[in-house]
Each structure stands twice: as C-alpha cells, then as structure tokens.
Amino acid sequence: MGINYDSKLIIGWRVDRDAAHAHAAARRACRCGHDTCSFGACWDPERLELPRHFVFKSCMPFFDCDAEYIEIYLSLNYTAVALNDLQEISQQVDWDAGRRLAVSLGADDHAACVFSAANVW
C-alpha cells in the first residue's frame, strides 16, 4: 500500500462542500442511490444541471482524509491538451453563469481562477 498523489487543474472556483452536496442531493445526482455521497466522483453530471462546459471536481488534500475535508471545485470541463484548444473552449463558456452558480454554492465572488489542487489517495 502506498500513497498516490496528483493534482487537478482547476479553471473556476472552490465551492463549499456542503453546498455542493446539497445541490447534488436536490437533483438526486448520486449514481450509487444515496442522497449524498462523500465523494463527488459518484455524481451524474447530467443530473447536476450545471452550466454548459462546467463540472464538479473533487480533491482529497491529504491521504486518507475524512469526507469533511474533501474539497469540491466548479471547474471548466476541458479535454484540450493544446493552449489554443483551451482558448477556443473558454470563448464559448458562459462565465457569468458559472460564477453565479459558484457564488450560490459558497465561492468567493470573483472571476474564475486557474490553479492546481492537490489530490492524495
């Protein structure tokens, strides 16, 4: 058994974990059938009613952390590997809709940021 570490590129906002869970629960988005899941990877993106091009990303900031420490982000959903592809996608995004949702989920009211979030498992 070992500790694995990666980081996730976030283009968006860190949101309140409990608010994101409430958002998912209200839409019955958990694939496992529970009202709330501790890990956002179980959420069905089609049921979440997110603005187009956005997804929730969850990260565990340290090894074997309890569910209460999992961090949830509203991030641009990208598969681009080239900067010009990412630039093209970002021009199609309704950033205001993403910002409104993020703020309603407890994020600070500011433009989307680009940063890396630790994910340790």
Q: Which of 5, 68, 73 is nearest to 38 (CA)?
A: 68
91 or 29: which carries more pLDDT confidence? Answer: 91
Sign of CA dihedral 91, 49, 23, 59: negative
3-state DSSP assignment of residue 19: helix
Summarised one tens digit per residue, pLDDT across range 83-112 is: 888 888 889 999 999 999 999 999 999 999
Q: Is the pLDDT of residue 32 over 70?
A: yes
36 pLDDT higher than 80: no
pLDDT band at 16 (very low <50, low <70, confident <90, very high): very high
pLDDT for the residue 68: 84
Strand order across the beta sheet in which 113-120 lies? 54-59, 71-76, 5-15, 113-120
Which of 5, 3, 19 has the alpha carbon at shortest distance from 73? 19
